[in-house]
Structure 1
Amino acid sequence: MAVRFPLLAALALLAAPVAAQAGAPSCLKCHSAHFRALGSCVTCHAGDPRSERLSIAHHDLVPGRFAWFAVPGSVVTQRGRDLMENYACRRCHTSAGKGNRLAADLDHLPAGTTAQVISDAVGNPALLMPQFHFTERQKAELVNAVLVGAREAAGKGGRRQGESPQVVHFQDGDAGRDNVFERRCGACHRLLTRTWGGLGRGSIGPNLSGLLTEFYPRTAPNRSAWNQAALEKWLENPRKSREQTQMRPVVLQEGELAKLVSMLADRQER
């Protein structure tokens, strides 16, 4: 009995915090409650509210600046969505079930991808991804837009049955490759394609990934969408459409326009 008593006492001490946690999450011992109608703390912030040890309670915690996606009608999330539209993120990415699949599918990021990881990726873009120079606030807004888009996609059924994951390989543009984009456009522009990977090495001109899709900014003459006819007219004499442009005419040989259009349209759309 003398041996058994200390064991029972130790078990009682271990059980005591569990009993306390049953009444209220440990989060509320340090943080005030807010947005109670949305559910528990983990609804927006994840983490583990059953433990009082910070290393456990804060595991995979979503900081407040990234948690607005869980608040219906959030102004922060709407600003993020506006940024996604204005900067045409969907020309390369899929978000909320819409966009081109030239780069990562933002609705199905790898397990363990945290909000901070997404923010860091926006601030330190991968090769061939444009550098947008977003502020910290804008990066947080974009993360909220990505997270709410993933939630919406999951609500619609998530990944299509039988769809295989996409593997994207990034590498520097090779001026030695024998293709029309490298020869005619690559010195000033870059392009991400499904078939040929990353093309071009220049950053003087805009990134042309997804140019001939509905997700590219409407920067064609008269603020219209780009198509083959608009592209052909532009290449013949850019300054005829836009007097102040620095781009010079591009002389294409027979058959090169069709090849260029094929490369610019090379994507998998959702």
Structure 2
Amino acid sequence: MAVRFPLLITLAVLLLPYQAVQAGGASCLTCHPVHYRALGSCVSCHAGDPRSDRLRIAHHDLVPGRFAWFAVPGAATTERGRDLMERFACRRCHSSAGKGNRLAADLDRLPAGVTAQAIFQALDKPALLMPQFYFDDRQKTELVNAVLAGAREAAGKGGARKGESPQVVHFEEGAGGRENIFEKRCGACHRALTRDGGGLGRGGIGPNLSGLLSEFYPKTAPGRSRWSVAALEKWLENPRKSREQTQMRPVVLRPGELDTLVALLADAKQPRRIPGPAGLSLPVSRR
């Protein structure tokens, strides 16, 4: 009996971290009150490490409460974030909840390596060629919850879409590749992310044209309809005929240039090639 007693104590100590996780995070509950117990353990909403009572370890990659509404079904914060995502057409470049274009990062995969706070900060300081939406802190919080909810939804459907492969961005010597129809005719006022040409344009006067001909671009064509090749052609010929107060002037295209422009703006399945310093290449996950 004297031998078995120390053995039982040893087993209890070894099993304690496992029991803490199974119980929903015993170390969490020493400081925080129980809430939303029906949704699962603490880590199912907030992540962190419940096996330790050391604050820095237990709070590693913690999802703060304001970003954890994504785990609460029907939460108003998440629903407002989803509305913002639709209103500002985030899917024109990104994929969320398994839907969207693949011109920029797949938001369904971000939570695997990026904290909620980092997503919040990315909305505050957009990446190159990402439109500046000027969201306030509340809107950014709502969008983060929508992103996390979309990632959870996509994971429930099996995660990444079938046939999705890593995307590689190649840099080529010289600026010859920049001499394309978009740069010549549109780039002074507009910007766009494209599969074949990468990020194009330098202007901020006109709207960002990323994903223009896709189903995820805002319905801003004349008549508040979706942009099509025919609508784009009519618009370029005489913008003020379709929208009297527009500041845009007609764009005179040579034979064949419209087809080239459409091919560049369309959701082509080609690897992206961006001009840059010789000998450099940057692998970017096609997310």
TM-score (norm 2): 0.82
Once the two structures are superposed, what CA deviation does each residue of 1:7-55 show, in whole Å capped at 9, x if it has no partner?
x9xx98x949949x75771212221111111111111101122321101
Structure 1 distance, partners of 2:220, 2:241, is 15
Structure-to-structure mapping, 1:80-229, within 5 angstroms: 80-109=81-110, 111-167=112-168, 177-229=178-230
Amino acid at match of 2:214: T
Counterpart of 2:281?
none
SS at match of 1:117: helix
Counterpart of 1:42?
43
Deviation at 1:168, TM superposition (A): 5.4
Amino acid at match of 1:235: L
Amino acid at match of 1:130: P
Once the two structures are superposed, what CA deviation does each residue of 1:180-204 show, in whole Å capped at 9, x if it has no partner?
1111100000011111111110000
Deviation at 1:121, TM superposition (A): 1.2
User: Number of aligned pairs?
Assistant: 257
Structure 2 distance, partners of 1:154, 1:91, is 21
Q: Are residues 103 and 267 of structure 1, via their aligned partners in 2, closer, same or farther at CA, if it must alter by over 3 Å?
A: farther
Higher relative contact order (CA 8 A, sep 6+): 2
Deviation at 1:161, TM superposition (A): 4.4
Once the two structures are superposed, what CA deviation does each residue of 1:240-270 show, in whole Å capped at 9, x if it has no partner?
1111111111111111111111111134599
Aligned 8 A contact 1:50 1:57 in 2: yes
CA RMSD of aligned residues (A): 2.7
Amino acid at match of 2:128: L
Structure 1 distance, partners of 2:120, 2:236, is 37
TM-score (norm 1): 0.87
SS at match of 2:29: helix
Counterpart of 1:3?
none
Structure-to-structure mapping, 1:230-245, within 5 angstroms: 230-245=231-246
Structure 1 distance, partners of 2:142, 2:268, is 27
SS at match of 1:223: coil
Q: Are residues 108 and 221 of structure 1, via their aligned partners in 2, closer, same or farther at CA, if it must alter by over 3 Å?
A: same
Structure 2 distance, partners of 1:226, 1:59, is 45
Structure 2 distance, partners of 1:45, 1:266, is 36
Q: Are residues 175 and 181 of structure 1, via their aligned partners in 2, closer, same or farther at CA, if it must alter by over 3 Å?
A: farther
Q: Are residues 232 and 36 of structure 1, via their aligned partners in 2, closer, same or farther at CA, if it must alter by over 3 Å?
A: same
Structure 2 distance, partners of 1:179, 1:81, is 36
Q: Are residues 16 and 213 of structure 1, via their aligned partners in 2, closer, same or farther at CA, if it must alter by over 3 Å?
A: closer
Aligned 8 A contact 2:193 2:199 in 1: yes
Amino acid at match of 1:261: V
Structure 2 distance, partners of 1:117, 1:168, is 24
Q: Are residues 106 and 267 of structure 1, via their aligned partners in 2, closer, same or farther at CA, if it must alter by over 3 Å?
A: farther
Unaligned runs of 5+ in 2: 1-5, 270-285
Aligned 8 A contact 1:128 1:198 in 2: yes
SS at match of 1:221: coil
Q: Are residues 116 and 148 of structure 1, via their aligned partners in 2, closer, same or farther at CA, if it must alter by over 3 Å?
A: same
Unaligned runs of 5+ in 1: 1-7
Deviation at 1:109, TM superposition (A): 2.6
Once the two structures are superposed, what CA deviation does each residue of 1:46-71 show, in whole Å capped at 9, x if it has no partner?
11223211011111110011101100
Identity of aligned residues (%): 75
